[in-house]
Every structure is written in structure tokens, then in C-alpha cells.
Chain A
Amino acid sequence: MAVHSSVVTGALTSLNPGASSGVAVRAVLIVILLAASSGAWWVASRRAARFRPPKDHLLPGRAPAPVESLSSAELSSDLGARGTFVQFSSATCATCPQVRRVLTELVAAQPGAVHIELQSEDHMDLVRRFSIFRTPTVLLLNPDGAVHSRTTGPLTPTRALAALAQLSPATTRSIDA
């Protein structure tokens, strides 16, 4: 420890005469840096975890996209009668398998709900059209294919189910088949 700190002090005195106070100042700066990153992460993840209306993500002053919808032809898949979760994944996405698992289980238990997963690299046109900056991003489409809401990052089953329920509130009674 003594040897180590003398090396540290030696390295520091070359630049900073108040070496021991320099380490203390740096330690405080490191703590501030880590606290600020934690705070930023907390705010960002809280915001991202919710399903939000599609225009909410656009920067102020930017023109909103005129039509925010996807057709079954573009997705080469049928849309769900209640709703369609379109998940944008990518090769370097650590959270995508978790979201895939949540949505796969959800659509298995919810008739009329469909989950479609797209590789962003293969659909850069859609990535640009829907202003997708992160994977996973999930768009929730209504039965007509219009984007009802979207979310990014980790997804809980509760939130996904709540978003689907918001899309068609009277679900359990209206579906008889």
C-alpha cells in the first residue's frame, strides 16, 4: 500500500504540486460522474419503458411524420385482430431476446395479438421512417396498422399487456371465438 501510494504520488507531483489533495478532488469528481450517469440512466429508462404515443419521441420543431402506419404487405405478415407488436431488433442488441420472450409469451396467451420481429439491418427504410434510434424498439399497431404507441428498451409483461388493453379495452367480452 505504501509503495503503491508513493508511486501514485510520484506520478501526480510531476503535474500537480498538491498531489494528495489532487487524488481527493479526483475521487469526488469520479463519484459525481457516476452519480450523474446513474441519474441519467434512471430518467432515460423510466421514460423509455412506457408505451408512448408515436409523436412523443420527435424532437420539438421537427415535422411529424404524416402517416405512421404499416401494412401487412410491408410486414409480409397478417396484422393482429387486436393489435400487432412490431419489434425492431439488431445483431448487437443485448435486450432484444428478453423483449422477444415477453412478447412471445404474451401473444401466446392473448388471441388476436401478433408479434413480428424485424432485423433493423434488413429494414433500414423502416428504421428511418419511424425514427428508430435504439433497439429494441417496439411499435404497437392497431388492427388497421396505424402506430398506436411505441416503447424502447427492456419490457415487462405488465406494461405490454397494459398497452394492448389500452388499444382494445373491451377485449375479454368482445372476443367470443
Chain B
Amino acid sequence: MPDSTTTPNANTRSAGATKPGPPGIDPRGPRFGAGVTAVLLVVTLLLGTGTTATALLGVVGLLFLLGVTRGVQGTLQGLAFKAWVRPRLAPPAELEDPRPPRFAQLVGLLVVGVGLLFAALGFPAAVPIAAAVALVAAFLNSVFGLCLGCELYLLGRRLTHQS
């Protein structure tokens, strides 16, 4: 043990892994945001296929758009978390890279965007379908901390980089 205390990471090598990333964020922020999104999507699903449901899905889409452009900590949920939730919590055990949840916001935006597009083209059922897909991801993220959108990243890379 004595030598391991002086060089604790002597056996760890990251081959090109230590790119200086942006400052970390509290991992509970994205989970809180996903919880809010999940609630909005549940209401959307309860509304069915009317104008109200489409409008609410549009609101969720705008929230995702904020997350894509400003990062997940810059969304309305992120700001609410910072203002009201985080002061009540203990400091996090570790910080999280903000890029994965931001990528997941893009996946969410695509799902909701496709739903709204098909709704505009005359397929009203696309609204609840898109809301259901997004709800599964938001629900798993908020309750279990599983970022489904992040999981798609490597699959996408594999498909786009077929050599």
C-alpha cells in the first residue's frame, strides 16, 4: 500500500482520453429536468391528439431546443434546479460532463420534431407516438439515471462511419 498512496493512478492510462472538457455539472440537474419533461409528456399523452396536445408537445420541443443550444443546465428546468432544488441538496458525489445530456437533448428534439412534423402533415397519431417514445427516455433518465439518448451515440457513430 505505501507506494500506491504516492502514485494512486500509476496503473491507469488513458490513451487520448483526457481531453480537457467543459466544467462538470451536478448530475442530478439533468435528472430533475427529465422529470419535469416526463410530467409534461404524461399530460401530453393524456390529452390525446388535439390541438392542446400538439401545442404542449411543441413546448417540450422548445425545452429540448434550449437544451441543445445552451446545454442542459441552461434549460428552464436546469435554471429551476439551480435556483430552487440544488440549494436544498447535499453537494454531489461527482460532477458530470455536460456533453452527454446535451446530446440526449438533441435526440429528444429529433423525436419530438419528427412527431410534430408528421402531425403537421396530417397524421395526428404522431403526437402521442412521439410523446410516448420521449416519455420512456425521460422517465428512465429521471427515475433510474439511465441516459437513453447518450446510449445512441456510439450506435450512430458505428452506422455513420462504416469503412
Q: Do A and B bind each other?
A: yes
Q: Is B63 positioned at the interface, with any CB of A under 8 Å from its CB?
A: no
A residues within 8 A CB of B154? 90, 120, 127, 132-135
Closest to A84 in B: B11
Known contacts being A37-B136, A120-B157, is A101 close to B94, with CB within 8 Å?
A: yes
A residues within 8 A CB of B27? 94
Return B26 CB to nearest CB of chain A, in Å: 13
Return B39 CB to nearest CB of chain A, in Å: 11
Inter-subunit contact B100/A41 (CB<8 Å): no
Q: Is A22 positioned at the interface, with any CB of B under 8 Å from its CB?
A: yes
Stretch in B14-22, B73-81, B82-90 touching the partner: B14-22
Inter-subunit contact A114/B48 (CB<8 Å): no
Q: Mark B2-30, 1 if CB is under 8 A from A, else 0.
A: 00100011111111110100000001000
A104-138 contacts to B (CB < 8 Å): 104-105, 107-109, 111, 113-122, 124, 127-128, 132-135
Q: How many residues of A contact B (CB 8 A)?
A: 59
Return A38 CB to nearest CB of chain B, in Å: 7
Of listed B47, B53, B94, B124, residue having the most chain A CB within 10 A: B47
Known contacts being A124-B161, A132-B154, is A107 close to B47, with CB within 8 Å?
A: no
Of listed B14, B154, B161, residue having the most chain A CB within 10 A: B154
Return B53 CB to nearest CB of chain A, in Å: 7
Q: How many residues of B contact A (CB 8 A)?
A: 52
CA A116 to CA B17, docked complex, whole Å: 9
Known contacts being A8-B47, A30-B46, A41-B144, is A115 close to B151, with CB within 8 Å?
A: no
B residues within 8 A CB of A38? 140, 143-144
Q: Is A166 positioned at the interface, with any CB of B under 8 Å from its CB?
A: no
Q: Is B150 positioned at the interface, with any CB of A under 8 Å from its CB?
A: yes
Inter-subunit contact B52/A8 (CB<8 Å): yes
A residues within 8 A CB of B46? 8, 23, 26-27, 30
| A contact residues vs B (CB 8 Å cutoff) | 7-8, 10-12, 14-16, 22-23, 26-27, 29-30, 33-34, 37-38, 41, 45, 75-77, 80, 89-95, 97-98, 100-101, 103-105, 107-109, 111, 113-122, 124, 127-128, 132-135
Enumerate the 8 nearest inter-chain pairs by beta-carbon distance, A residue then B residue, closest first: A11-B50, A107-B11, A92-B153, A117-B14, A92-B100, A92-B103, A117-B17, A94-B100
